[in-house]
Amino acid sequence: MSEKMFEPGITAGRLEASAYADQFSDLHPPLDLHEALVAADRCYFCHDAPCITACPTDIDIPLFIRQIATGTPDAAAKTILSQNIMGGMCARVCPTEQLCEEACVREIAEGKPVKIGELQRFATDHLQQQGKHPFERAAPTGKRVAVVGAGPAGLSCAHRLAMMGHDVAVHDARPKPGGLNEYGIASYKTPNGFAQAEVDWLMQIGGITMQTGSTLGAEITLEGLRADYDAVFLGMGLGGVNALGAVGEDKAGVLDAVDFIADLRQASDMAQVPIGRDVVVIGGGMTAIDAAVQAKLLGALNVTLVYRRGRDRMNASVFEQDLAASKGVRIVTNAVPVAVHGNGAVREIEFEYVDADMQGTGQMLRLAADQVFKAIGQTLQGDALPALEGRKIKVDAEGRTSVAGVWAGGDCASGGDDLTVTAVAEGRDAAMDIHKTLVG
């Protein structure tokens, strides 16, 4: 943990020891068999199902729900996992309320969609908890592929390549594989070590070796990987965090929200994670919501989330915004940070309200703060990378970069939304194109 987290006023153990397990329990408890059958019975099994079109991984949703309804949840899991090998994680963290469930005919007609995400979790959990892996590896092709990044995109790519008979070496800079799933998602969304359990289950396909503590540009280079392997996939995500651009942002207590979430995810005892009394989170995406909610769950008295635009422009879904509000998080919009005040450590942060064109109005807001978390976007890190588009690696529809034999996907690549499910789809699709290129 950062030493800056231990400034005066930032302390651990703000709650009774017994409260932490309840505070960070499963956000959506799993469906039991009866609940799953009742939920599945609400599906119309549409022929031209709009929910499939809305799913970035093109899961045949009516089919897997029918399989649950007919008492074959393992078959349902295989239907899901054949399109999305990380269907268990996506069932927990995917914004289904903005994707498949928003497109559900029940949602359009009644305002109450089929519980697609919870049914997906029911099926995948049923299979994975038995230790079953529904896929077998094809005969070895003799081809070797390097994957950089053991997050959703990299793992999805590696699994699909291994399943088709290639040998895959996955390199990741962190001590554990999993990427965003392991280090970047709120603890209450994936409790009980699910992220690592899913990686272990995925690796059962065989043909994949994992090298942690292996960073592109340090222990490995793109040039070296191209020389040693038949193809390379880059899925290392985004490592840097944008600056606030506010005077005094280098003061103690001003931290990156992604580091706070990672520290909390890796903590063996949440009662030992320090939190401030007055916490301010800056940003409007899922990371900002996760940081704000978890600060409140850790015992912060006042938590304020401040976003530079209106609530309708926040990347976090309405469900996530409402979740934050239900936990006591105050949301302030149309305000940008201009200064961090304090003698060495943050004591207040000052904002200016802006209009719809992001022009300052002259109206100011000062918030008491002993801890400030920045969740204002991440940046790509690394040298000697393929050509960029904006601030990400430029890729075509198949995930190919400007460098021959190199593909990319996930948050580090241009094009898709920064969602776990999108990263999985991009890794899978790049693997299919790599396979086609390698075997003809």
DSSP label of 213: S
Determine the average pLDDT of the residues in 98-109: 96
- Residues 1-43: pLDDT tens digits? 544 444 667 999 999 999 999 999 999 899 999 999 999 999 9
Tokens of 134: 């529904």
- Between 270-274, 377-381, 401-405, the lowest mean confidence (pLDDT) is in 377-381
- Greatest alpha-carbon pair distance for the chain in Å reads 68
Considering only residues 417 and 206, tell me which one the structure prediction assigns the higher pLDDT.
Answer: 206
Count of beta carbons in the 10 Å neighbourhood of residue 269: 10
Q: Which residues have CB under 8 Å from 322's CB, separation 6+?
A: none
Total residues found in the chain within this entry: 440
pLDDT in tens, 310-334: 999 999 999 999 999 999 999 999 9
- At 3 the pLDDT is 46
CA 164 to chain centre: 26
Parallel/antiparallel/unpaired status of strands 348-354 and 360-368: antiparallel
CB 258 within 8 A of CB 230: no
Phi and psi torsions of 338, nearest 5°: -120, -25
**Confidence band (pLDDT; 50, 70, 90) for 383?**
confident
Q: Which of 57, 201, 204 is nearest to 120 (CA)?
A: 57
pTM given for the model: 0.95
Q: Which residues contact 330 (CB under 8 A, 6 or more apart)?
A: 302, 303, 304, 305
Q: Where are the alpha helices (DSSP H) in 43-132?
A: 50-54, 61-69, 73-81, 87-93, 100-103, 105-110, 116-128
Determine the pLDDT at residue 6. Answer: 47
* pLDDT above 70 coverage of the chain, percent: 98
How far apart (Å, rounded) are the C-alpha atoms in residues 21 and 30? 17
| CA separation, residue 29 to residues 25, 121, 166, 360 (Å) | 9, 10, 38, 44
Mean pLDDT within 53-71: 98
Give 195: exposed, middle or buried? Use CB within 10 Å, 0-12, 13-18, 19+. Answer: buried
Distance of CA 319 to the CA centre of its chain: 16
Show the domains of the chain with their CATH numbers: 3-25+241-377 (3.50.50.60), 33-128 (1.10.1060.10), 144-239+380-439 (3.50.50.60)
The string of pLDDT tens digits covering residues 218-255 is 999 999 999 999 999 999 999 888 999 999 999 999 99
The residue-averaged pLDDT of 412-436 equals 94
Determine the Cα–Cα distance for residues 113 and 40; give it in Å rounded to an integer.
11
pLDDT score at 417:
80
Nearest CA to 199 out of 152, 143, 245, 240 is that of: 152
Q: What is the dihedral of CA 291, 294, 300, 303, to 10 degrees?
A: 40
